[in-house]
């Protein structure tokens, strides 16, 4: 059975192509690329001689599967097992790029699928942005419709992890504004033009977007830090909440339950103790 290689290619710095990736691309019987012209130019610059290219993008991936499976089932041009390489326009294949359906089909047909790891924009951004790198969720590109994008941010925002996504230069400000509205105060980083000459990391807070200035050019990887835990309530804040809820009436456990819904950082046992210290009713039920 043949082998499908998923090969990571540079994000912008040609020197990031690994020797192993160059060797696989050089001997592959077929190279699948979203943009065959761009892939051909990259290999030409790197001195890698590809033996053949075939386009594979969102609109033709399903139709290409049978052709790729046939290529993998036959012999290599050099004899032996066939090898097909899948590349992205930049970075690691399948991350917001086509290829997922092809990989599943190749595995289902019994072919070997193996990665040639290397550059990856989400990982590169996380490694250098200064925000918590794990756990994180990679969202790819958000939906174009604001309502759908909002639903995605709300869903993953509840996970309490760092969020990583791609965004186009003409939409990045709108996406940050939507994130601020949905997610609330968080740190963020815009990783612009990763590994290229004009690489830039713009850091800030979602609750201070009015003061944000940056160049709206190039490709952006957006990193949104995890949600910030509410500050622990002080004793004065706890006492004020206890007095207000005690005045509203109810059994002690009901008062404590309502207080715990208003303040953060106190256990129920500690709240009961403060209620008794304030001269409130005991722990009767």
32 vs 103: CA distance, rounded Å = 12
Confidence (pLDDT) at 229:
67
The answer to whether residues 74 and 127 belong to one domain is: no
Same domain, 67 and 128: no
Domain boundary among 58, 92, 119: 119
CA distances from 231 to 72, 224, 235, 266 (A): 58, 20, 12, 11
Residue-by-residue pLDDT tens, the chain, 285 positions: 899 999 999 999 999 999 999 999 999 999 999 999 999 998 999 888 877 999 999 999 999 999 999 999 988 877 789 999 999 999 999 999 999 999 999 999 999 999 999 999 999 999 999 999 999 999 999 999 999 999 999 999 988 899 999 999 999 999 999 999 999 999 999 999 999 999 999 999 999 999 999 999 999 999 999 987 666 788 888 889 899 888 888 889 889 988 888 787 888 899 999 888 887 654 433
Verify that 74 and 131 share a domain, yes or no.
no
Question: Are residues 53 and 107 located together in one domain of the fold?
Answer: yes
pTM: 0.79
**Same domain, yes or no: 112 and 127:** no
Q: Tokens 């990391």 correspond to what residue?
A: 201
Write out pLDDT tens, residues 73-100.
988 877 789 999 999 999 999 999 999 9
The last residue of one of the domains, among 119, 152, 184, is 119
Here the CATH number for the domain that contains residue 100 is 3.40.1010.10
Shared-domain flag, residues 114 and 167? no
pLDDT, residue 216, reads 92
pLDDT at 263: 80
Q: Would you say residue 229 lies in a domain?
A: no
Question: In terms of domains, do 130 and 218 share one?
Answer: yes
Return the pLDDT at 27: 93
Tell whether 215 and 128 lie within a shared domain: yes
Sort 92 into a burial class: Cβ within 10 Å, 0-12 / 13-18 / 19+. buried
Neighbours of 4 (CB within 10 A): 29
Residue 284 lies in a domain: no
Tell whether 9 and 115 lie within a shared domain: yes
Evaluate whether residue 23 is within a structural domain. yes
Q: Are 65 and 104 contained in the same domain? A: yes
Residues 92 and 153 in one domain: no
The pairing of beta strand 30-33 with beta strand 53-55: parallel
The count of residues in the chain is 285
Residue 35 within any structural domain of the chain: yes
Structural domain total, the chain: 3
Q: Are strands 83-87 and 30-33 parallel, antiparallel or unpaired?
A: parallel
pLDDT of residue 230: 65
**Termini Cα distance of the chain:** 72
Q: What is the pLDDT of residues 175-192, one digit of tens each?
A: 999 999 999 999 999 999
Strand order in the sheet with 220-224: 136-141, 162-167, 220-224, 187-192, 200-205
């Amino acid at each position: 059975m043949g082998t499908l290689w998923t090969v990571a290619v540079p994000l912008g710095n040609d020197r990031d192509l690994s020797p192993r990736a160059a060797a696989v691309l050089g001997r592959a019987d077929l190279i699948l690329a979203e943009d065959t012209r761009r892939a051909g130019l990259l290999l030409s610059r790197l001195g890698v001689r590809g033996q053949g290219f075939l386009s594979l993008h969102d609109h033709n991936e399903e139709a290409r599967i049978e052709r790729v499976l046939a290529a993998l089932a036959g012999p290599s041009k050099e004899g032996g097992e066939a090898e097909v390489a899948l590349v992205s326009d930049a970075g690691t294949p399948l991350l917001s790029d086509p290829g997922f359906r092809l990989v599943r089909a190749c595995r289902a047909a019994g072919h070997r699928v193996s990665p040639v790891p290397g550059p990856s924009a989400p990982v590169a951004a996380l490694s250098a942005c200064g925000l918590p790198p794990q756990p994180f969720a990679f969202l790819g590109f958000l939906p174009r419709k604001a309502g759908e994008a909002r639903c995605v941010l709300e869903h993953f925002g509840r996970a309490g992890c760092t969020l990583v996504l791609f965004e186009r230069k003409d939409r990045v400000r709108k996406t940050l504004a939507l994130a601020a509205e949905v997610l609330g105060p968080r740190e963020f980083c815009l990783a612009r033009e990763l590994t290229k000459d004009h690489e830039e990391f713009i850091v800030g807070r979602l609750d201070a977007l009015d003061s944000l200035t940056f160049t709206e050019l190039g490709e952006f990887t957006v990193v949104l830090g995890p949600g910030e835990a509410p500050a622990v309530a002080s004793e004065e804040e706890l006492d004020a909440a206890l007095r207000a809820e005690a005045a509203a009436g109810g059994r002690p456990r009901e008062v404590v339950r309502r207080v715990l819904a208003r303040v953060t950082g106190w256990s129920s046992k500690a709240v009961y103790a403060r209620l008794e210290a304030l001269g409130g009713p005991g722990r009767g039920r």
